[in-house]
Amino acid sequence: MTHRSRWVSAGLTVIAILAIGYGWRTAHYNSHFLSDTQIGGIRVGGQTAEQAAQTLKTKLSNQTYTVEEHSKTLAQFTSREAGVKAYSTTQLKQLIAKQNAYSWPVHTFSASADDQRLSASAMDDADLTALANKIVQVAGTNRTATHNAKLVYKGHQFTIEKPVYGTEISQASVKTALTKAIETHESTINLKQAYVKPTVLTNSKSLVSAKTKAEKLAKNKITYRITNHSIQVPSDTIASWLTTKNGQVTTSNAQITKYLTKLSYQYGTIHKTRHFKAHDGKTVKVPAGLYGWSIKVASETPILSKAVLAGKPVTRTPVIQGTGYHKDGSDLGSTYIEVSKPAQHMWVYKNGKVIISTDVVTGKPVSGTTPSGVWDVWSKQRNAVLRGKNDDGSNYASPVKYWMPIDDTGVGIHDSPWQPRYGGDWYLTHGSHGCVNTPPSVVGKVYAAVPLHTPVVIY
C-alpha cells in the first residue's frame, strides 16, 4: 500500500466515524430537545419530553411575577394565580417531533437560544381574565385616554389631528401584556406595555383618504323645505358634522341633533306664543299649549346623517311631529275654536266662518282657572263620567253626554246640565274646575262640527 493510499484510507475512516457520530446525534435529537432550546425562557436543551415536563413543572409552579408602573409595584402574582399549566409529556413530544433534528450542529454552536413561547393553551383563560381585572382595578381609572388620529374641521378647513398616546388600560390590553410576559418568562411586567395604543395614526392612508372625501362631502347641497321656507344647510355646517371613526368618515350625530333642534325651535310652533286675531279684530297674545308642531329630531337625525354621507344633492321636508303643520306656512288654519274668558264666550269657526256662537262658563278663579293657550281636541267621547275633587276636597263624578279633552291635565269642552246660566260673571262664583262648560242645547252641534285635532284658542 502506498503512502497516498494510507492517507485516503484514513480519511475515509474519519468520514465514516463522523457520519456515524452525526447519525447518532441526529437520532438522539429525535427524542431530545435541541441543545439551545428554551420554552418560555426555561432551558430544556438536551432533555427528553419527560425530563422537560418535570423541569417546566418545577420552574413554573413557583414563578412569581411583578407588575410595575413608574418603578412602583402595583401587583404581584404567581404563575398558579395566572392559571399557567405546565406542558404535558405528550405536548412536549409533539414539539420535539416538529424540530429539525438534522440541524443539531447549528444549535450546538449557536450563540442565541431557540426560545419557544408558552402557547395560550398553557394558560387558563378564566384565571388570566380575573387577574387582568384585578390589576385594572388596582391601577385605577384616573388615566389619560388614548385617542386615534382623527379628522377635525377648524378655521374653515379639514386637518388631521395627531393621536394621543395615553395611559389608558383595559382588561384586554392588560391580559395581552400578561400573556406575553408569561409566554416569554418575563418576571417583571411594566404596565406601560399594557397601555392602549392608537390604531389609526396621522399618516394612515385611510385617514388621508377620509380627509379628501370629507372635503368633497362638505360641498354637497342639502336643502330643507319647512312650510313655505327653503333652508340650505351651509357647507361650513356640514363640514363641522364630519369626523372619522377608525379612519373612516362618519358624522357627529350630536352636532346634527343640535342643528335640527335649533331649526325646529326657529320654525316649529309647539312652543311659541301666538299673536291671535280675535273675533273682534283685535290681536291678543296667546301662550303655547298642546297644539303645534316641531321637527321630530330623534327620527330626522339618522336620516340627515345618511344624506350627508351619501354625498348626493337632496331636498326634503323633515320628519314632523305634533299638529298644525301646513305646507303654506299657515298655523291654526280656518277651522278652530275660540274661547274668550273675559267675554265668557265661545266661537266655532269652520272654513273661516263662525258657525256656532255661544256663552260658556269657564273655570272658577283661582283654583279652577281655565288655562290660556292654544290647545288641541285630541279625543272625542260620548257619555263619559268626569271625575275629580271639589274645592272642599270631596270627590265628584259628573256624567256628560259630550266630552272633548283639550289639554293634558283633564281640561276639555263638555255639556253641563247643572249650570242654570252661562256667560257674564257667573263663572266668578260658580265656575268649573277648569273645563269649558257648554250649554246642552249647543254642545252636540260643537261635537259634530269639529274634527279631531281642531285647535282651541283660549285667552
Residues whose CB is less than 8 angstroms from the CB of residue 408 and which lie 6 or more positions away in sequence, other chains included: 290
211 and 292 in a common domain: yes
Q: pLDDT above 70 covers what percent of the chain? A: 92
Beta strand segments in 335-407, E: 336-340, 345-350, 353-359, 373-376, 381-389, 395-405
Q: Has residue 12 got a pLDDT over 60?
A: no
341 and 316 in a common domain: no
Active-site residue among 107, 185, 433, 435?
A: 435
Domain encompassing residue 353: 336-458
372 and 418 in a common domain: yes
Q: pLDDT above 90 covers what percent of the chain? A: 71
pLDDT of amino acid 111: 45
Q: Has residue 112 got a pLDDT over 50?
A: no
447 and 343 in a common domain: yes
441 and 364 in a common domain: yes
248 and 357 in a common domain: no
Tens of pLDDT, residues 297-353: 999 999 999 999 999 999 999 999 999 999 999 899 999 999 999 999 999 999 999
Helices (H), 185-226: 205-217
Active-site residue among 107, 185, 414, 433?
A: 414
* Residue 28 known to be catalytic: no
Phi, psi of 267 (to 5 degrees): -110, -20
Query: Does residue 23 sit within a domain?
Result: no
Query: Does residue 88 sit within a domain?
Result: no
Tens of pLDDT, residues 151-189: 999 999 999 999 999 999 999 999 999 999 888 878 999
314 and 235 in a common domain: yes
Rounded to an integer, the average pLDDT of 194-219 is 95
Give dist(CA 191, CA 277) in Å, integer.
73
Which DSSP string corresponds to 255-286?
Answer: HHHHHHHHHHHHH--TT--EEEE-TTS-EEEE
Query: Does residue 157 sit within a domain?
Result: no
Rounded to an integer, the average pLDDT of 393-402 is 93
311 and 341 in a common domain: no
- CATH number of the domain residue 440 falls in: 2.40.440.10
Last residue of a domain, one of 300, 322, 344: 322
- Identify the CA nearest to 339 among candidates 458, 216, 162, 204: 458
Tens of pLDDT, residues 124-155: 899 999 999 999 999 998 999 999 999 999 99
Task: With cut-offs at 50, 70 and 90, classify the pLDDT of residue 3.
Answer: low
- CATH number of the domain residue 211 falls in: 3.10.20.800
Last residue of a domain, one of 271, 297, 322: 322
Report the domain count for the chain. Answer: 2
Query: Does residue 87 sit within a domain?
Result: no
Q: Has residue 116 got a pLDDT over 70?
A: no
* Residue 414 known to be catalytic: yes
390 and 294 in a common domain: no
Q: Which residue type does 307 have?
A: A
Rounded to an integer, the average pLDDT of 28-33 is 90
370 and 287 in a common domain: no
- Identify the CA nearest to 450 among candidates 385, 356, 340: 356
Query: Does residue 41 sit within a domain?
Result: no
348 and 316 in a common domain: no
Query: Does residue 315 sit within a domain?
Result: yes
Q: Has residue 14 got a pLDDT over 60?
A: no
Give dist(CA 61, CA 77) in Å, integer.
12
Q: Has residue 263 got a pLDDT over 60?
A: yes
Rounded to an integer, the average pLDDT of 236-263 is 95
pLDDT of amino acid 399: 96
Query: Does residue 265 sit within a domain?
Result: yes
Give dist(CA 349, CA 457) in Å, integer.
11
Query: Does residue 309 sit within a domain?
Result: yes
The count of other CB atoms within 10 Å of the CB of residue 342 is 8
369 and 295 in a common domain: no
Last residue of a domain, one of 269, 296, 322: 322
What is the average pLDDT score of the chain? 90
pLDDT of amino acid 174: 97
